[in-house]
Chains A and B, each alone.
Chain A
Amino acid sequence: MAKLALSLPKRGRWQVAEQSQGIPVARPQATTSSFWTAVWSIVWKDLRIEQHTRQTLSVMLMFSLVVVVMFNFALSTDLDAARQVSTGLLWATIILAGTLGLNRSLSIERENQTIDALLIAPVDRRGIYLAKVISVTIFTLLLEVALVFIFTIFFNKPFWQPAALLVLFLGTIGYVAAGVLVTSMTIQTRSREVLLPILLLPIVLPLILPAAIATAEIVSLQPQMDTVNSSISLIAAYDLAILAVGFFSYPFLVES
């Protein structure tokens, strides 16, 4: 500690404003306010990039449209069948398009190795995880706004109901929380994009199944509310558990 005191120049740079008993103390970085400042600045940065390029959202949306049209074509002989599977199709579209968003969001940090810049900044690594979850969630939610609109028109079911939106919102959080964690791994492997769906989809199935069941109930003619309620609590439990696991284990994925 004393060494730092000696080594610091006497011009009174702003970093050493805090001097106690002659020993400069490197600012403890773990304060709550600086944590959230870092999180929001990373989110801001991701949104800014998207604002400039519009790449993530447009790719996700185009992909979703292709999936929907393709399935409609496959099921076109039987419109009722298409309606029957529409909730499953909605969720399948979301998780498949979601992998594109996840890959894009995390490969941005690998392009010029900016992840290193985040890692040497005085930022809690868990904050990086949270920020990535927030920004990918925002993109996925924006995609879902469009999808709800499209699905309501194509399949003539009330996907815009508040309960359905709630399920979409909660499901997205859990999906992205698991997704950011898994993508942070796959992006550092040889197979990269190929590996992500293989690892991620089985892990999020326990979340997607109740989400799809709840959504199907909500948009059905006579929704059974106890199914919906129990599914929503399951989804919320998944969200919390995976967020907690991701929050605490993410640092292990970026430290070497």
Chain B
Amino acid sequence: MIQIAGLVKNYGVTPVLRGVQLHVAAGEFVTLVGPNGAGKSTLMRIVATLLKPTAGEVKIGGWALPQHGDRVRRYIGLVSHQTLLYGDLTAAENLHFYARLYSVPDAEVRIGRALKQVGLAARQRDPVRTFSRGMMQRLTIARATLHEPEVLLLDEPYTGLDQDAAQLLDDLLLREQADGRTILLITHDLVHGLDLCDRMAILNRGKIVASLNSHEVTSSDFLELYAAHTGRKEAAGGK
């Protein structure tokens, strides 16, 4: 579903991504981890059609980016670390707006259902800026999945969530996965990411340095591996 090959992105003369290689199959749940500054968010923005790659190939559903960005946008849902919600609109109004942008059919029914799913039906007439971080994040998920995207991209969705909210997000993600969506999750919460996904990939210094089936490794093994892959590089960088 998502094919990335030899992806390079430079900001000016500073390289951020140096030849990223990543395939995400349809229906697969891949978690991407890496230290700060590894280029995770840049990679996410490129896949989300928000940023143009400097070189290399990015395809979603077989369509090459950025040329065919307008063809794949309908199939993408994005949860970024910003809420992408209008604080001065109510929860229902926010969803209505996005439903119209995506020309979602039966908007009323879907919005009602989505609000119920994320447990915000009672607060739907309140302005979003009065919501807690957790509620906002739940609404963000509802917004991102309202048009039933094939590909769900999540950039650090756990930031600022308490235990309960994180649990709710986990449940939502598992439900989305059961629905057959392709999910790409970026997080720095290693263990959390490992539990949910099918495959873990480690991004360090603009490259995928490891990719492994998460059902086959224990979390302690993975932590060791992560330290080896990112720590070694950093030690080298410190010389």
> Is there direct touching of A and B in the complex, by C-beta distance under 8 Å?
yes
Chain A contact residues, CB within 8 Å of chain B: 1-4, 6-9, 11, 13-15, 26-30, 34, 37-38, 41-42, 44-45, 48-49, 52-53, 108, 111-114, 116-124, 255-256
Contact A48 B89 (CB under 8 A): yes
Please report whether the interface of chain A is mostly helix, strand, loop or mixed according to DSSP: helix
In addition to A118-B101, A119-B49, 5 A-B residue pairs with Cβ atoms within 8 Å of each other are: A26-B72, A111-B86, A116-B48, A117-B143, A122-B102
Q: A112 contacts B83, CB within 8 Å?
A: yes
With a CB–CB cut-off of 8 A, which chain A residues contact B80?
A: 113, 116
Q: In the docked arrangement, what's the CA distance between A113 and B79, Å?
A: 11
Check if B182 sits within 8 Å of A7, measured CB to CB: yes
Residue in chain B with minimal CB distance to A108: B86
Interface residues, chain B, CB within 8 Å of chain A?
1, 26-27, 48-52, 59, 61-63, 70-76, 78, 80, 82-89, 93, 97-98, 100-103, 105, 127, 143, 147-148, 150, 180, 182
Tell which of A6, A29, A44, A119 touches B26, judged by Cβ atoms closer than 8 Å.
Answer: A6
Q: Assess the A121–B84 pair: CB atoms within 8 A.
A: no
Can you report 21 A-B residue pairs in the complex whose CB atoms are below 8 A from each other?
A: A3-B1, A7-B26, A7-B27, A7-B61, A7-B150, A7-B182, A8-B150, A26-B75, A34-B103, A38-B101, A41-B97, A45-B89, A45-B97, A108-B86, A113-B82, A116-B48, A116-B50, A119-B50, A122-B74, A122-B102, A256-B52
A113 to B27, CA, bound (A): 28
User: Do residues A123 and B72 form an inter-chain contact, with CB atoms below 8 A?
Assistant: no
Min CB distance A22 to B, Å, is 14
B98 partner, pick from A28, A108, A121, A256, beta carbons under 8 A:
A121
| Contact A30 B70, beta carbon cutoff 8 Å | yes
Residues of A within 8 A of B83 (CB): 112
- Bound complex: CA of A121 vs CA of B77, how far in Å? 9
A15 and B74 contact, Cβ closer than 8 Å, known pairs A2-B62, A38-B101, A41-B100? yes
Bound together, the chains give a CA A45 to CA B87 distance in angstroms of 12
Given known pairs A6-B26, A9-B180, A34-B103, the reply for A29 and B98 (CB within 8 Å) is: no
